[in-house]
Structures are given as C-alpha cells and as structure tokens.
Amino acid sequence: MGDHLDLLLGVLLVASPVLGISSCSSDGRMALYRFCNLTQIPRVLNTTESLLLSFNYIKTVTATSFPFLERLQLLELGTQFSSLTIDKEAFRNLPNLRILDLGKSQIDFLHPDAFQGLPHLFELRLFSCGLSDAVLKDGYFRNLGSLSRLDLSTNQIRSLSLHPSFRELNSLKSIDFFLNQIPIVCEHELKPLRGKTLSFLRLAANNLYSRVSVDWGRCMNPFRDVILETLDVSGNGWTVDITRNFSNAINGSQIFSLVLGYHNMGSGFGFHNIKDPDQSTFAGLAGSSVAQLDLSHGFIFSLNFRLFETLAELKVLNVAHNKINKIAHEAFYGLDSLQVLNMSHNLLGELYNFNFYGLANVAHIDLQRNHIGIIQEETFRFLEKLNTLDLRDNALKTIYFIPSIPNIFLGGNKLATLPTIRFTANFIHLSENRLESLDNLYFLLQVPHLQILILNQNRFSSCNQGRVHSESLSLEKLFLGENMLQLAWETGSCWDVFKGLPRLQVLYLNNNYLTFLLPGVFSDLTALRGLSLNSNRLTVLSPGNLPPNLEILDVSRNQLLSPDPDVFASLHFVDITHNKFICECELSAFIRWLNQTNVTIFGSHADIYCMYPNSLSGTSLYSVSTDGCDEEEILRSLKFSLFILFTVTLVLFLLTVLTVVKFRGFCFLCYKMVQRLLFEDRTLGRDSDTYTYDAYLCFSSKDFEWVHNALLRHLDAQYSDQNRFHLCFEERDFMPGENHIANIHNAVRSSRKVVCLVSRHFLRDGWCLEAFSYAQSRALAYLNGALVMVVVGSLSQYQLMKHEAIRAFVQKRQYLRWPQDLQDVGWFLDKLSQHILRKEKETKKDDSIQLQTIATIS
C-alpha cells in the first residue's frame, strides 16, 4: 500500500510542480528521482524518508554510494535500465531502512554481504532480478532480524535449499517463489523453516513435482513442522495422482488455506483420458486442518462420490471455473463445516434434490454462470443455514419455487413469470430477466421482510387489472431501471404501485421511456430520499410529481424544457444535466434560481445547456443573460389577459352555436312551453269563423299511416285534447257513396286551408292532383294563401315541375318541405299550424318566411 501511495503522491507531485517538488528533486522528506537519467545516487538531504530512484541508469551501489540517511525508510532502486552491481554492505548508511525495492533490476553481481547492516528491514523486493539458487543457499539474508516479507518471484531459482541462517529470521512471514523453476522441494531443504508459522508461501507456476518423478519415500514431507496459513501451489500442472501423492506426503502439516488453482485435474468436457479427483485424492489432507481449498480453474467434470469426506474443517470450497457437469451422490459428504461453496463458471445444467446433501452449515452457494435450466424443488430445502444463493447468469426459464432464504440472486436468467408461491427474502436480485407483467412486481412487493428488490433490465410493460393491492412495510430500495413502464402506465393503470411502500428510501426508474408522471404517484413515499428518473423523456416536472421528503433527484438526460424552480427547491442534490432547456424568458426564473440556490447541482456547468433557440444551442445556462425579460413579462401578461378574454368570448359563442344547432329541437320545446305558460289564454281566444274545418289534409292514401303518425296525432283535435285543429281528410270525413270529386270539392270549400302533402305517391295519384288543381283554382279565385304545399321526401324540382298545377304553384308561391332532422319536426308543425291559422287578408303580404326548411325559387 505504501508503494501505491508513493506512486499516487508521485503522480500528484509531478502533475503539480507548484506544490513544491517537481521530478528529480526533493522536498527534504521525499526525494523523487524517477526517470532522471541518473547513473549515481543523488546527494539528498539527511532528512529524507523516501528515496525513489527507479527508472534510471545506476550501475553500482557500494557502501559509500549513499550518504548517511538516518531517517530513510523506503528506498526504491528497481527497474534500472543498466544491470546492477551491489557491493558489500551497500546499504549500511541507511540503518533504519524498512522497505528495499530492487524489483526488475537485473542484478549481475550481488555480494553475499550486500544486505548486511539492515536490522530494521521489513520488506525486501527482489522480483525479476535474475537471481539464482545461490541467493538462498549462501546466506544473503543473515541477520535480517526484522525481515517479514521476501519477494523472490520471477527469478531463476532451481532449488529451495535454504541456508541455515533462515532459522534465525524470526519475523519471516511471507515468501514468494512464484514463477521460478523449482521442480521439487523435499523435507531436508526447508529444515530451517521448522517451527515457524508462515502466513504466505507461494510456490505457484514452478512445474513443481510435475516434471520429475518424485520418490516420496525419500523426499518425505517438505512442510514438516511448518504451519502455513496459505500455501499456493497453483499453476504447477498437477494431475490427480500428483495431488494425491502430495496430500499424502504432507500428512499432518497444518495448512489453513490451500490454493490449488490452475490445475490439470479432471477429464474436461468430452475427454476421458485424464481422471477426475476421487475419494483418495484429498484423503491425505485429513490432518491438515484445511479451512479453505481452492480448486478453481481446472478441468473437473464430475464431483465424485465422497470426494471431500476427510475435510471436516473445510469452510470455503472453490471449484469455480472447472467443467463440472455432474455432482455424484454424496459428493459433499463430510463437509460438515462448509460455509461457502463456489461452483460458479461450470457446466451444470440441472440441479437435483440430492446434490447438496451433507452441507449442513453452508451459508453461501455460488452457482453463477452455469447453464442451469431446471432445479428440482427440494434442492435447497434442507440447507437450513443457507443465507445466499447465487443463480445469476443461468438459463432458467421457469422456476417452480423460490427458496425462502435471505439473499437470492436470480439475475441474468430467462424468467418470464414467477411462481406465485409464498416465500420470504431480504434481498432479491432479478435483473436481466424477461418479466413483463407488473403482476410480478405486485407479487414481489408482498414478500415478507424484503428490503432490496432489483428488477433492472426486465420488460415490465403490461398491467393486469385483476390484481390484489400490495404493500411492503420493509422495502428500502427498489431498482426498476431499464424497463418499459411507460407502456404500462400510459394505459392509465398500475399507477398505484408505489402506494404501500412507507419505508422505501431509494427508487430507480431510469430508462423507462417515461413521458409523464401522474401527479401524486410518489406522494405516499414519505421515506424516499433518492429518486432516479435519469434517461427518460419527461418534458415537465410539477411540484406534485415528487415525493414529499426527497433529497436527491436525478433527472438528467430527459427533455425538460422550461422547469419550474420550485420543484427542486426542497432538494439537497439534483442532477439536471443533458436536458433540452428552451432559453427564452420563461426560463429566466430557473436560470436565476440556478445561480443562487443552495441545492447542490451535480455535473459540470457545460452539461446544463440550452437546446433552443438555435442561436443559443449548446450554451451553458450559467452564461445566458436574463436581462430584458422583466419588461417583456408585463407585456406578456397584458397580452395574456387579452388572449384569455378573446378565448372565453369565442368559446361561449361557439358553445351557443353548437347548442342551437345540436339541440334546436329541445330548445324549441322549451320555448313553446314558456310561451304556453305566459300566453295561455291567447291561444284559446282565437275567433271562430264560418268554415267547418280548419284545414283539408290532402294526401295519397298510400301515405296514410305516415300522415297519421306524423301530422294527425299532433294536430287533429280528435286525437288529443291538446290539439286545436279540426282537420278534414278522406279516410274519415268524406261522405261514403258520394261522388269522389264532389267530396273533394266539398272538403275544399268547407276548409279554411288546404294542406297538400306532396309525396312521390301524391304525384302518381290522379285524385290528389285533381284536389290540388281545384284548391289552387279556388285559391286564385278568392284569396292567396289558402293552399299550403308541403313537399315530403326527397323530390327534386324537376319532379315537381312535371305537373302543371304544381309548377304553376311553385313558380309563384313558397312551399314547405318536411324536415329531414327529427328534432325539427316540432318546430315545423308549429309553422304549419301558423299557416293554417293565418287569416286570408294577412297572408297576402306574409310571404317572407326565411327558414332552412323552405326552399325558394324565383
């Protein structure tokens, strides 16, 4: 970490020379001389604590190279571009040195006394220095009583014969021999380490025991009487046989964590010539108290019967990145202490009830990235301590049950529905599935004790009406980003989904194509502190949209045009970058608010920019001036009032017109009713005259039924007491047996008016035409207006003009047309009544009735 910090500091200092030290100089405590083309140790102040000399051309270090630097703790001499010679007691002027880094410097000559005089040296880095076995054999590390970490990785060491002086290195904890060429290590070579406890011994990537045939009878146990916290023998190409022989050989040595990754055990997929480990492979580890075993990155295809039965103390088993496709019966038998089982990145396709038998204490099973498509229902039922089950990135399309365990990861599967079986959980991860119906969300919200629910990247877009109301009193975080909630919500339903979540603190609704929010949709989320609406299509946010106690809001990458600053006023943090602000005077309140608000605005000023008008496109809101907007506002309000006035008038006018057109029949009825109430006696008091009938209704007998319904019932006194006319018509009033012509003449003579209902039938009926002619001649002889003609049906001018009598009439007089719209009938009958009632003398000049239903021909 010190190294890391140095580097960080170094970069910081290089980047900012103003702060004090630039490259190739010193501030008294830290001397920074990386990449300074040095060939010699520079003269630094005796107060220096860190001296960084990597990446130079220093060739030789002798006892006099360094000035006396009593305070120096860190010396970096690694990566010299020329090869290095280190002479006797080269560092003796650095008596308090704690870390000496020579890594990646090619050391041509290293004096056996080179490291003498460093009683406080804690860490010695000698990786990639081209060192041979001699460095171990010849006592180079004598007297380094404080040495704890020795890094000899990536050298050319071929044998691990340790000099007896290793026995005195009482602080030694960690030795790294990674990537050397040590083919074999036997008991006598590591004798000086007996009685020691090493926290870390790394013998990885050495082809250890795999290139030579080992006579274990003679080699015996290399780690006899050594306690190893971590032994890393990975990357040595171990097969099942080597592993078994090694395990047997180290019988009894304590190794708490055995790293055996990158091995060659297992048949792989589709091969049979290399064995999978079996019951005997790890049997020799029985007395080694192994608590962690790493068998990752290999070719194990089948976990065989009672494979780990002797590892009663094992707590963590990692078999990730193998080719496991089969779990034999009782494969985990004996792992009574196992807590973590990592089987991720394998080839499991299905899980059976018996698979995890024996794991009484397992708390975490990692099954990520297999190909699991189906799980038998009882698979996890009896794992009572199971706390976390990770089934991410498998191929589950359906699942018949969800185990009731606190943390369940089901993300990255193909689930389209969930079983509606009750279960409990604190944490559910279901992102990257294919859930579509919000029913699933309502269902999950009912899961007892649920605190975190992750549903990102599903397909939530439909809303089913027949669901139960759900509420969760425990839910704290809900992730619903990258769905299609707009599709569900734009139908107007499922907006109540956030109604019962009083504890919810964080809600993600990013990337949901939202174009609007229903006011009050979040109003019940009284505990909500953070809300992300990032990357939607919202154009407006109103104060009612946001939850009452919100502190952090992300509405970046929306389409807010001209937001109301009051919406954000009560927040603590807001991100409004990348919206589409319209930089016109409407926005001035918002711009002023941005300039002086206490709310912390995320993002750089440049990312809060105008979209319109084009002249300001891309300009930061912070550099837009609002001058001149105030006067315009007054003008605008005036304009606005005028606009309102105009609009109201127009709307009222249109409404009136519309009412009259649409409901004229009804209006007329009302009008008549009022008239009747006010002028009741006038209608009664009309004077009688000499005629027997008020009118003779002349029509074709084929039209009788229609005339009866449409006219007689509404006008003739015999049909209703309210009717006031005495009408004459053939079917009732003609004298039977009498000559028909005589009857017609009689009727015309004894009626004040003649009303001819000219229909298609009328025109074909000789009697009717006769009656018409007679009535017309009488009308001409005595008085105008005694004949009223009503055209019924869609008769054209041409059809009327064909008949002489009618032609004569229509050329001189107006006629009535039966209305097409039913609601006009009342009005028409009233008009007709007036015609019938009209006195002869008056009718002469009263020809100017202008109405829609009267056609005029001049």
Ligand X SMILES: *[C@@H]1O[C@H](CO)[C@@H](O)[C@H](O)[C@H]1NC(C)=O
Give the residue from 311, 323, 298, 158 showing the smallest Cα distance to 234.
298
Q: Is 219 in the site for ligand X (CB under 6 A)?
A: no
In the complex, least distance from residue 286 CB atom to ligand X, rounded to whole angstroms: 7
- Using the rule CB under 6 A, give the single segment among 59-67, 197-205, 245-253, 793-801 that binds ligand X: 245-253
**Could you tell me the two tokens for 366?**
């990692």
Q: Which of 5, 20, 37, 638 binds ligand X (CB under 6 A)?
A: 37
Burial letters for 195-228: b for 16+ Cβ neighbours within 10 Å, e otherwise? ebebbebbbbbbbbbbeeebeeeebebbbbebbb
Tell which positions 46-85 bind ligand X, by CB under 6 A.
46-47, 70-71
**Could you tell me the two tokens for 201?**
């011994």
In the complex, least distance from residue 544 CB atom to ligand X, rounded to whole angstroms: 21
Q: Which of 148, 207, 245, 515 binds ligand X (CB under 6 A)?
A: 245
Count other C-beta atoms under 10 Å from residue 608's C-beta: 21
**Residue number with CB closer to ligand X (220 or 825):** 220
Q: x/- contact string, 5-34, with ligand X (CB under 6 A)? A: -------------------x----------
**Could you tell me the two tokens for 321?**
């990145």
Q: Which of 6, 189, 366, 824 binds ligand X (CB under 6 A)?
A: 366
Q: Which of 248, 446, 486, 843 binds ligand X (CB under 6 A)?
A: 248
Residue 780's φ and ψ, nearest 5 degrees, are -70, -40
Q: Is 251 in the site for ligand X (CB under 6 A)?
A: yes
Q: Which of 424, 542, 595, 647 binds ligand X (CB under 6 A)?
A: 595
- Count interface residues toward ligand X (CB under 6 A): 32
Q: Which of 8, 17, 19, 241 binds ligand X (CB under 6 A)?
A: 241
Q: Is 389 in the site for ligand X (CB under 6 A)?
A: no
CA dihedral 835, 840, 841, 846 (to 10 degrees): 20
- Using the rule CB under 6 A, give the single segment among 110-118, 247-255, 530-538, 579-587 that binds ligand X: 247-255
In the complex, least distance from residue 342 CB atom to ligand X, rounded to whole angstroms: 4
Q: Is 252 in the site for ligand X (CB under 6 A)?
A: yes
Strands 30-32, 25-26: parallel, antiparallel or unpaired by DSSP? antiparallel
**Could you tell me the two tokens for 250?**
């180290």
**Residue number with CB closer to ligand X (71 or 580):** 71
- Nearest 5°: the CA angle 236, 238, 243 is 125
Q: Is the dihedral of CA 445, 446, 450, 456 positive or negative?
A: negative
Give the residue from 348, 328, 339, 352 showing the smallest Cα distance to 384.
339
**Residue number with CB closer to ligand X (597 or 619):** 597
- Using the rule CB under 6 A, give the single segment among 224-232, 242-250, 682-690, 746-754 that binds ligand X: 242-250
Q: Is the peptide bond before 277 cis (omega within 30 degrees of 0)?
A: no
Q: x/- contact string, 165-204, with ligand X (CB under 6 A)? A: ----------------------------------------
- Using the rule CB under 6 A, give the single segment among 97-105, 240-248, 550-558, 835-843 that binds ligand X: 240-248
In the complex, least distance from residue 457 CB atom to ligand X, rounded to whole angstroms: 20
Q: Is 36 in the site for ligand X (CB under 6 A)?
A: yes
**Residue number with CB closer to ligand X (383 or 788):** 383
Residue 495's φ and ψ, nearest 5 degrees, are -75, -10
Q: Which of 214, 410, 525, 533 binds ligand X (CB under 6 A)?
A: 214
- Using the rule CB under 6 A, give the single segment among 258-266, 375-383, 593-601, 727-735 that binds ligand X: 593-601
- Identity of the amino acid at 73: Q
Q: Which of 598, 615, 796, 850 binds ligand X (CB under 6 A)?
A: 598
From CA 436, how far away is CA 374, in angstroms rounded? 21
CB 788 within 8 A of CB 753: yes
Residues 6+ apart with CB under 8 A from 785: 779, 838, 840, 843, 844, 846
- Identity of the amino acid at 645: L
In the complex, least distance from residue 242 CB atom to ligand X, rounded to whole angstroms: 5
CB 90 within 8 A of CB 118: no
In the complex, least distance from residue 205 CB atom to ligand X, rounded to whole angstroms: 18
**Residue number with CB closer to ligand X (46 or 820):** 46
Residues 6+ apart with CB under 8 A from 212: 183, 184
Q: Which of 592, 740, 812, 844 binds ligand X (CB under 6 A)?
A: 592
Q: Is 342 in the site for ligand X (CB under 6 A)?
A: yes
Give the residue from 389, 393, 395, 381 showing the smallest Cα distance to 409.
389
Residues 6+ apart with CB under 8 A from 288: 250, 251, 252, 253, 254, 255, 258
Which residue is associated with the tokens 């005629």?
Answer: 691
Q: Is the dihedral of CA 512, 515, 518, 523 positive or negative?
A: positive
Compute the half-sphere exposure of residue 354: CA atoms within 13 Å on the CB side of its CA: 8
Q: How far is CA 454 from the centre of its chain?
A: 10
Count other C-beta atoms under 10 Å from residue 555's C-beta: 26
In the complex, least distance from residue 214 CB atom to ligand X, rounded to whole angstroms: 5
**Residue number with CB closer to ligand X (194 or 592):** 592
- Using the rule CB under 6 A, give the single segment among 11-19, 426-434, 594-602, 715-723 that binds ligand X: 594-602
In the complex, least distance from residue 650 CB atom to ligand X, rounded to whole angstroms: 39
Which residue is associated with the tokens 């029913």?
Answer: 439
Q: How far is CA 419 from CA 291, 436, 460, 831, in A?
A: 38, 14, 17, 74
Tell which positions 275-334 bind ligand X, by CB under 6 A.
284, 287, 296, 320
- Using the rule CB under 6 A, give the single segment among 171-179, 337-345, 508-516, 833-841 that binds ligand X: 337-345
**Residue number with CB closer to ligand X (252 or 502):** 252
**Residue number with CB closer to ligand X (71 or 803):** 71
In the complex, least distance from residue 63 CB atom to ligand X, rounded to whole angstroms: 18
**Residue number with CB closer to ligand X (349 or 565):** 565
CB 147 within 8 A of CB 125: no
Q: Under the rule (CB under 6 A), what is the footprint of ligand X?
A: 24, 35-37, 46-47, 70-71, 213-214, 216, 241-242, 245, 248, 251-252, 284, 287, 296, 320, 340, 342, 344-345, 364, 366, 592, 595-598
